[in-house]
Every structure is written in C-alpha cells, then in structure tokens.
Structure 1
Amino acid sequence: MRSRGASKEGFYAVRVGRQTGVFRTWGECLAAVNGFSNARYKKFGSHAEAAAFVNSSGHGGGSGHGGASGPGRSTGYHPYGKRSANSSNSSTTRTYPPAGTTVTGRTTVYTDGASQNNGKPNARAGVGVYFGPGDSRNVSEPLCGPRQTNQRAELMAIIRAMEQAPCGPAGETLHILTDSQYSINCLTRWAGTWERNGWRTSQGADVENADLIKTARRMISDRGGAVQFEHVRGHAGIEGNEMADRLAVDGIDRKTQ
C-alpha cells in the first residue's frame, strides 16, 4: 500500500481490536477498541507509520494500549480493512451451516463488508451477501453514500440480507453470520443505551453510523425479532464467509463500472 504524507487529523492504527486497520477519525477507532480486552491502538502522523504499527506483531513501539491478543483475535492487516487470521488461530473447531440452508424454519446467510483505502479520502467500500451458490438473493454492490468505511459496509450488508429475505411464516428465523463483532454489538448490545441517550455516546459524541443502526434495528423489530446473529472469524476458511467477502470486494470494483 502506498504511503501517504502527514495529516493534521492523524491516523488511528488499531492492531488488536474488534476491527483492525487504519482509521481517520477517533470515533471509528473508539468503536473498534471500546470494550475489547487488551486492545492495542495508537495515533500517528502519517498513514505509513500507522500501517506499519498495524502490521507489526511485537508489543514495542510505545503503544501503551492493552497487551497481547487473546484466543481467536487477529493482529494481521487486510488491505480491505478486515481482520486476517494468522496461522496460529485461523483454524476453527466450529462447524458452520452452509449458506441458504433452510432447516426447521431457519434461513442461513453470510454477510460481509469491504473497504479499499479504509479511512482515507479516496476510500471505496463494497457490500456482500451470500445465500448460497447461484442464489438470486446474493448481493455484490458498492456502498452508497459519501462515507465509504468498512463498518458502514458491514452494517449495510446486514440490512441488505434482511431486504433480500422478507419475513416468512411465523417462527421462521433468519440466521445472519458475520465477521463484524462491531455490527453485532451495535445491534444487540449498545443500541438500546444509545437510543435512551438520544443517540449519543457516554462521552457525549454523536453515535457513528447511527442512521444504518436505526434502519437495521427497525427492520429486526418489523420481523418480530426473528433474526439471530452469529460471529464468525474472518479469513479462516469458512466457506460462507469467504464467499461473502469475495462478493463485497467485487462490489467495490462495481463502483467504477
């Protein structure tokens, strides 16, 4: 990745967190590390320095934030702003259901978002939704709007999955598997508190991506709560996740077509 010059705003590097990569705003950085045990992050004056921090595997460099990553957490850097599993934790003992399978009233779908040059002015993001091979409900498209971030793409992928799978018979569950713990936490843990606080954080700042979070929450409510989220490790050889990732990355390129 090409290095960039110094920026007055700074570059926020997250080496260990629920999302890793280089971010341009403190709000995005905070969302990636807040509440994550042993998170490691630091602000730099240039993109090159921030990327080097993300790529490094040691604990030197004066980061001063958190410690080593725990089981299942990645310190790798993915060019599309995603976590990449290293060789020591890429395997999984969990068997995940194939996408598109409907068993006892359950439809399984994998969602993913990708952002090229995440956190930079020229960022471009894509959305991927995978119901299964050749499924007409699959989605591969660019993220709409001026804010092209990985987190927004992840949330939009969940929204698109619900749009593509309208409510079925009573009791039918939509099982959404995503590697974005941020999105899951937004929709299942944090949104209630944010709503009570007028969509402001505990520090009084506006909640990042509140528009998409509100939309997704409303859609979940309209479905009668029949949506189940499950976190999967990104880039760990899980077929549905890998296919959703490919659709998301392809969606980025569609923006220039």
Structure 2
Amino acid sequence: MSYRLFVPPPLADTSRDGLLVQTKRGRLFTNIYHIRGGVKKRSQHIAVFVDGACRGNGYLGARAGMGVYFGPRSRHNISRRLDDDGPQTSQRAEINAAILALDRVKSLLDQDRLETDLVVIASDSEYLVTGISKWIYKWYDNGWTNAKGGDVSNREDFEELDELVDELEDDYGVFVKFWKVDREDNEEADELAKDAVADEDSTSDDSD
C-alpha cells in the first residue's frame, strides 16, 4: 500500500482526541482550528475536502471549476474556475483542487497561522487519489506512458501536485496523504466546485 494513501481509523474511535476525522450527525467534517483573539490553537492533523466540476465535460466550450472545503464557514474555503491554460475537464479540476488546497496550507504555514504535521486531502475521485498515490510512480518509471502506450493525460497537473507534496514533506516536515471518500461525504466541496461554474464569469474565492 502506498504511504500516500490514507486509511481512516474505525468509526468507533473517531471521538477520541487527536484523531484526524470525526463524525457529526453521521457526516464527516474537518477539524482545522482557527485563530481566535490572537490565540493559535494547535491542530496536529487536518483534513481538507476537494472536488472538481465541469459543465459540458468533453465538449467544446466546457467550463470547469474547483471546490476546496476546510470546514463550515471557513474563510479558507475556495470556489474558483479552472484556468484556461489547459483542457476544461472534471479530472483536471479535481487535480487542481488538490493543488489549491495544498497551496493554501503552505501559505498558512508560511504565515505561522497553522501548526500541523499531517494533511489529508479527501476526494471522491478515484482518479485523483489513485493517480497521485500509486500510478504516478509507474508513470515516472515508464516515461509517462500509460498502459495503452500513449501519453499520460494531465501529466503537468500531476507533476505540479507531486512536487507540492514533496515540498511540504521535505521543507515543512508536513506529510500529505490522500483519502478516497464516498460522494455523499464530499457534498460541501462538490457544491463549491459547482458554484464556480454556475455563472460563466464566476471566479469567486471566498477567502479574499
């Protein structure tokens, strides 16, 4: 099993202090803490939920968006259109949502506004989670050729995400793991991603 893959503790243990994920009314939520009154509360582990959405996926004129969910009413939640420098697809949006999430984590660490040693990126995308935790090592070994002998799709996006994961581990001492969750446990990030493409000119980021 890849060291980048997160395996959650049994649900019976989720109420214990210090565990990454807890349940609230049967739903999953993150346990990132905020700064209140100038006091920084320590959180050894945080989870960030990400998702991508695309209107007209696979067709000309498609519009993709990304959602990053840190927690209820968090100022760090993100709803943003995917840039126009590459294909507008749901898969690219999912990868870039993870990049956005880790960029935000890195920014908080740089500002000394977050203290953590483990970040889990939760996603309902098998493509994202398996791609970055397992397939990417094979892609590096075989020159980024897929099983059919063609070029791996979204190579640049995966490389950027991989470099960011390595940077957080090597330069910040923060490990990053990826967790495949059910779609119903990722509704908040899904809504943020859909909101980003609800209007053609939507580029909102509610952290600004």
The answer, yes or no, to whether TM exceeds 0.5 is yes
Q: Matches of 1:256 and 1:101 in 2, distance apart?
A: 31
**CA offsets per residue over residues 111-159 of structure 1, 9 Å max, x none?**
0000111111121111000111222211101111241100000000000
Q: C-alpha offsets along residues 145-189 of structure 1, whole Å, 9 cap, x if unaligned?
A: 241100000000000000011174886111111000110111011
1:248 paired residue among 187, 193, 196:
193
Structure 2, unaligned stretches of length 5 or more?
Answer: 1-25, 34-41, 203-208
Matched, 1:195 2:126: no
CA distance, structure 2, for counterparts of residue 162 and residue 153 of structure 1: 14
Q: Which of 9, 32, 35 is the equivalent residue of 1:101? A: 32
> Letter of the aligned partner of 2:91 in structure 1?
Q
The answer to whether the 8 Å contact 1:142/1:255 transfers is: no
More displaced 10-residue stretch of structure 1: 146-155 or 167-176: 167-176
The alignment status of 1:227 with 2:173, answered yes or no, reads: no
State whether residues 100 and 109 of structure 1, in contact with CA within 8 Å, keep that contact through their aligned partners in structure 2. no
Q: What does 1:28-177 correspond to in 2, within 5 Å?
A: 97-101=28-32, 105-145=44-84, 146-166=86-106, 168=109, 172-177=117-122
Unpaired runs of at least 5, structure 1: 1-94
Q: How many residues align?
A: 159
Does 107-116 or 225-234 show the bigger shift? 225-234
- The structure-2 alpha-carbon separation of the partners of 1:242 and 1:171, relative to structure 1 and needing over 3 Å to count, comes to closer
Aligned to 1:212: 157
Partner of 1:181: 126
> With structure 1 as the length reference, what TM-score do the two structures score?
0.57
Q: Distance in 2 between matches of 1:210 and 1:162?
A: 18
Alpha-carbon distance, 1:194 to partner: 0.5
Rounded Cα–Cα distance in structure 2 between residues aligned with 1:223 and 1:178: 19
Task: State TM-score, norm by structure 2.
Answer: 0.70
- Counterpart residue number, 2:21: none
Preserved CA contact (<8 Å) 2:43 2:116: no
CA distance in 2, matches of 1:119, 1:204: 22
Q: Which has the larger radius of gyration?
A: 1
CA separation of 1:198 and 1:170: change in aligned 2, threshold 3 A? farther
Q: Displacement of 1:193 after TM fit?
A: 0.7
Partner of 2:205: none
Distance (Å, rounded) in 2 between the aligned partners of 1:213 and 1:96: 30
Percent identity, aligned pairs only?
32
By relative contact order (CA 8 Å, sep 6+), the higher-ranking structure is: 2
Amino acid of the residue matched to residue 135 of structure 2?
W
**Helix, strand or coil: the match of 1:122?**
coil
**In 2, distance between residues paired with 1:111 and 1:221?**
19
RMSD of aligned alpha carbons? 2.1
Q: Residues 158 and 116 (structure 1 numbering): CA distance in 2 closer, same or farther, change over 3 Å? A: same
